[in-house]
Structure 1
């Protein structure tokens, strides 16, 4: 257990960035139904409320796109720290906003942080994690999101009883606390070993691998040298093949993985969960459920609880089963909700409310809608939610990983903006039909995953080329029998002396012989200074 302790500690801490995403979601869902918010901002409805909600996603698209070159140039760690500074600025602007324009601007600036961190945190986690627990490590990101939603929602629920503007200003100001903790704490954490190798800082890369994989930081450990060799061979091959450019993302070799990464991110948004996250109060109120804001909070408790089984077993379940089962059941819950609204609903006689279709006097129908809302949240937490952030970080080669994940994450946030902006008008225009649309999106996602998405569980990041190039249809899981424990085999060969591994000094000499120059900017501190104490 000792050799994984540092990986767990680092991954859990850096996942604090996910809690910022969760705070954002709850900062809308916990506030929109309060009288204080509606009074101060002039009861924003439809497109106006959509613009407030979607402004975070607009900033996130920009942040996600910039994460590619920022993460490659300045490292994953420093870029995440830069994002926390942006978050503090945005949170301050929201907490002190004097109207809708300033609120939108603050949310957009905070969105830059969410875009950066939602792309780079899973990359960082995947690049430090052992292959057998990579899914579990990245699931910490989603667990942090769910915890952030839960904490912020209950803070806002408690503050909603304050009869002043403090009801929404206090929760928005408190969002800065985890960002400050993350900003300061990351100074004591390592760089990604794969990023260090990609900028030719091989000595540091070897030491970080040893620190993460052994209890005594032994750089001569066969397991450390085996992983180091895998990384070295992959990066050497990538240097020989092509340059680190966006053009390569659309090459025949990479574009399948890029489009799958984008698809997974977009389908997760089209699954409809943001309807239940951002606007759950609206849905429950229109269903005739009393005390909707309190009952809505229970779905966030369910969200946290149902993430735990995925955290424990996702590396055994695999990626495909989680997505396939999740899509089918998500579709079922949305179809039931839409059907109940259609059968028992009626036009809302009050015209200045966020919804135009309500259920009155049908307690069983209202209770069933509440149950399906809870089931939808639990299903999403078990299936799509963690895989959404895991899969794109796994499938891209290191030379284009930041760029591929950046585009996929930007697509996620573009879809997030589209939904955040259009759902309020949809609730007022097509009402219950909206749920049938999301149910159908889930069916389409099921078909796409079934025929296009290969299984990647318990494979090293360096083995993804084999998975996507082994010649079988993508929906048939790659299973190279006898090579499943490739790193273990390499470690045994190194231990027996039948396989040599180039040490960093030898790589530097080989570089000079081939006329290659040092690509490190020399700006980062030596990680050994942090771990030597």
Structure 2
């Protein structure tokens, strides 16, 4: 039995996105626990308090490596996914990723030392790289008219993974011994199994099937998903014809490698899809989500109060993502990106000003013997820093969060779409790796100036989006090609879009009339 409801298909596929959320949140919640820090301790132990030993945990540089190992694996996974998806299909690539995830989670759960933990997280990262690159392509090719919703749903799945695993890890923090971190890492296996089994009942991407000249399967899936098997529907006929025309245009083109993404007619859009992911990481969102317990520790929170306050950011992430999914196709990509980066600039700048103006160096060794908490701020300014941290999450969640997965899969023709998404996502994970490795040491060495860096990045991305990023909402994947024909100013794309919409509406009516006439002729001849 094949599932044909696009929302059910999306719900299954975006479990691949939730895997990243599971991994990210488990590290965030587990990092400050004494069970984790004592088991992987590399520094001197602090004085006992109420019978509990305060361990320093891994060295900040080593901890950066542990955290970044997932991003390193994601970089590799994203790159290889371009080849895997073109050869085996979108759905099969995601299933392969889920198998890798299960193996990585087993190794993380059973890790006896830092090396084994890094290997497990690296494998988990390979899965996240594959899924984060190909899930948006898969659901976007199944639902070309609802791309903002279904492709952005991956980000919502990530936020749910963060929320679920954070509370699960928080509950496990009350357990004694290594089981406090082994149990949540072991439970990560469950969504990997669900993803693999669920995809057995979903269709392959019709556009990948068209690329392989499997037109019977392609047409069957399009009509099943969009028209309840009514092949004679005028708009379905038009969609299939558009797809055939696009495939015919690309049939004689042999360029289908990563190198072809950098040819003169593709380099401009390649730079856009790379930077949408690079800027997304430089918003600082993953620095907040990975290390929010460190940030709140600097603001005076510790123990359970720190974890509970940190969990609020996960709730905000889930709830505030919803408006982005609902309005992304109506309002467009550019307004969300620009509005999000402006607000992020403000909140990072406020945090930097408060930390620099009212904060002070922490005692030697950091607060509570956590070296990364090497700065301290108290009183009302500390509460504002906590509030601004929440606002950073709330500004990112409906804007850059969903669009980072939607935009890269929209800009390229079918023959290059899988590799373009792979390259874009690999860029995401390359920067994620650098930030994961850099942030713990940054908290120790430059303290509050870390906030200044992210504020500057957010301001720079505002300008880049305004001048360069075109609007793509309201067009099918085949029609997006028109955006890059001729010289168009990105900030005037709205005017062009209105004209294109009018032309497309007229074309749709004409094509529908032609389909109806053709069907009428067939019925007449059949009757005769």
Using structure 1 for the length normalisation, give the TM-score.
Answer: 0.90
Among 30, 51, 66, the alignment partner of 2:80 is 66
User: Of residues 440, 452, 456 in structure 1, which corresponds to 2:456?
Assistant: 440
- Aligned ranges 1:331-410 → 2 under 5 Å: 331-351=345-365, 352-355=369-372, 357-360=374-377, 362-410=378-426
Which residue of structure 1 lines up, in the alignment, with residue 431 of structure 2?
Answer: 415
Q: Which residue matches 2:123?
A: 109
CA distance, structure 2, for counterparts of residue 5 and residue 70 of structure 1: 24
Q: Secondary structure at the match of 1:279?
A: helix
Give the drift of 1:139: 1.5
Partners of 2:4 and 2:224 within 8 A in 1: no
Give the structure 1 partner of residue 234 of structure 2.
Answer: 222
Instruction: Give 1:257's match in structure 2, choosing from 266, 269, 282.
Output: 269
Structure 2: distance between partners of 1:481 and 1:208: 27
**Native 8 Å contact 1:345 1:357 kept in 2:** no
In 2, Cα distance between equivalents of 1:490 and 1:347: 70
* Contact in 1 for aligned 2:278/2:427 (Cα 8 Å): yes
Deviations 1:251-277 (A, max 9, x none): 222111111000000000011011110
CA distance in 2, matches of 1:54, 1:172: 17
**Pairing 1:159-308 to 2, within 5 Å after superposition:** 159-215=172-228, 217-290=229-302, 291-308=305-322
**Aligned equivalents of 2:325 and 2:34: distance in 1?**
38
1:202-230 CA-partner distances (Å, limit 9, x unpaired): 11110110011112x12222221110011
> How far, CA to CA, are the matches of 1:397 and 1:438 in structure 2?
34
Contact 1:87 1:113 in 2 (8 A): yes
Unaligned runs of 5+ in 1: 501-533
- Which whole-Å CA distance do the structure 2 matches of 1:198 and 1:19 have between them? 29
| 1:497-512 equivalence runs, <5 A | 497=517
Give the whole-Å Cα distance in 1 for the aligned partners of 2:105 and 2:133. 20
1:314 aligned onto 2:313: no
Give the secondary structure class of the aligned counterpart of 1:483: helix
* 1:176-198 Cα deviation digits (max 9, x unpaired): 10110110111111000000000
Q: Is the 8 A contact 2:138 2:205 kept in 1?
A: yes
> What's the C-alpha RMSD, in Å, of the aligned pairs?
1.6
1:423-461 deviation digits (Å, cap 9, x = unpaired): 000000001001000000000100000000000001000
Closer, same or farther in 2 for the Cα pair 1:168/1:63, shift >3 Å? same
- Which residue in the other structure is 1:505 paired with? none
* Cα distance, 1:486 vs structure 2: 6.7
2:337 to 323, 326, 333: 323
Task: Compute the displacement of 1:353 (Å).
Answer: 2.1
The question of whether the paired residues in 2 share the 8 Å contact of 1:230 and 1:462 is answered with: yes
Counterpart position of 1:15: 14
1:270–1:402 distance in 2 versus 1, CA, 3 Å = same
In the superposition, relative to structure 1, how do residues 340 and 231 fare at CA in structure 2: closer, same or farther (>3 Å)?
same
Aligned partners of 1:45 and 1:424 also within 8 Å? no
Q: Does 1:51 align with 2:65?
A: yes
Matched, 1:141 2:161: no
2:178 and 2:81 mapped to 1: Cα distance? 35
Give the conservation status (yes or no) of the 8 Å contact 2:4–2:202: no
Taking structure 1 as reference, are residues 7 and 356 closer, same or farther at Cα in structure 2, changes over 3 Å only?
Answer: closer
Of the three residues 483, 494, 498, the one matched with 2:514 is 494
Partner SS for 2:360:
strand
Q: Does the 8 Å contact 1:61/1:409 carry over to 2? A: yes
With 461-470 and 390-399 compared, the bigger mean Cα shift is at 461-470
Is 1:127–2:155 an aligned residue pair? no
TM-score normalised according to structure 2 size: 0.91
Partners in 2 of 1:348 and 1:302 — Cα distance?
A: 29
Q: Aligned to 2:97, which of 83, 86, 92?
A: 83
Give structure 2 stretches of 5+ with no counterpart: 42-56, 521-528
Contact 1:242/1:248, CA 8 A, preserved across alignment = no
Aligned residues: 494
Aligned to 1:147, the other structure's residue is in SS state helix
Alpha-carbon distance between aligned partners in 2 of 1:490 and 1:77, rounded to the nearest angstrom: 35
Q: 1:374 to 1:5 in 2, by over 3 A?
A: farther
Residues in 1 aligned to 2:390 and 2:136: alpha-carbon distance in whole angstroms = 27
Q: Deviations over 1:377-403 (max 9, x none)?
A: 010001100000000001111100011
CA distance in 2, matches of 1:414, 1:159: 31
Give the Cα–Cα distance (whole angstroms) in 1 for the partners of residues 486 and 169 of structure 2: 51
Distance in 2 between the 1:485 and 1:128 partners?
22
SS at match of 2:203: coil
Q: Secondary structure at the match of 2:240?
A: helix
> For residues 407 and 224 of structure 1, what CA distance do their matches in structure 2 show?
31
Instruction: Judge conservation of contact 2:234–2:516 (CA < 8 Å) in 1.
Output: no
- Structure 1 stretch 378-387 or stretch 285-294: which is displaced more? 285-294
Mapped contact 2:294–2:373 kept (Cα < 8 A) = no
The 3 A distance-change label for structure 1 pair 272 and 486 is farther
Residues 227 and 487 (structure 1), Cα distance of their counterparts in 2 relative to 1, 3 Å cut: farther
